[in-house]
Structure 1
């Protein structure tokens, strides 16, 4: 399960860089149009993925299928939610509003699934590392 920890850690670091860049951009420009996206990138992308990386470093879930579903739904959902928010709130490409909304909702729904998978994992048999 160390591979899950490493994957989540790397993606959390990527989200941290993007979130810090957006914060720096907002401070420099004096515009806070990215505040919602910035906050979610840092909370869902950086902090949540980092916390889950620590979980996989400490515990080894017995069911790898649920763990695999959890890890990839977390990464895809965090990216999907935050990109969907960016498309929905800032409208950078003037896409159809339905496309923006669907991207936002699907990303958020996949992220919600990752939280459900994690909840299930906490009740499953694990091996604590010494």
Structure 2
């Protein structure tokens, strides 16, 4: 686990829906860095490409990594009031299962949602890969 100065939100930069969702998240009242997984040093952060392709990741300043609905809840908990209340609610045992299922449904159907790009429709192993400068490889 690598400690970070500010929390870090890692997302799929090849996915239009993901990119639009993260742009919305940057309007929340929280100090964080945002980085597509394609530009992140995942090994240094303590994770891998397989996990980053499957779910959004939240890297806390302690280096602890959460993914999927838990990452969204942790992001909300890091915000100013009233957002932490929603983050704690999403983490509650009864709600957490629903949040996980909702997140998985969105992730599995993101190519059908507003803002999707053709790359979102491809299986992960066939999506265009980019180098650190954002160019396709």
TM-score, scaled to structure 1: 0.29
Q: Which structure has the greater CA radius of gyration?
A: 1
TM-score, scaled to structure 2: 0.28
Task: Write 1 or 2 for the structure with the bigger share of helix.
Answer: 1
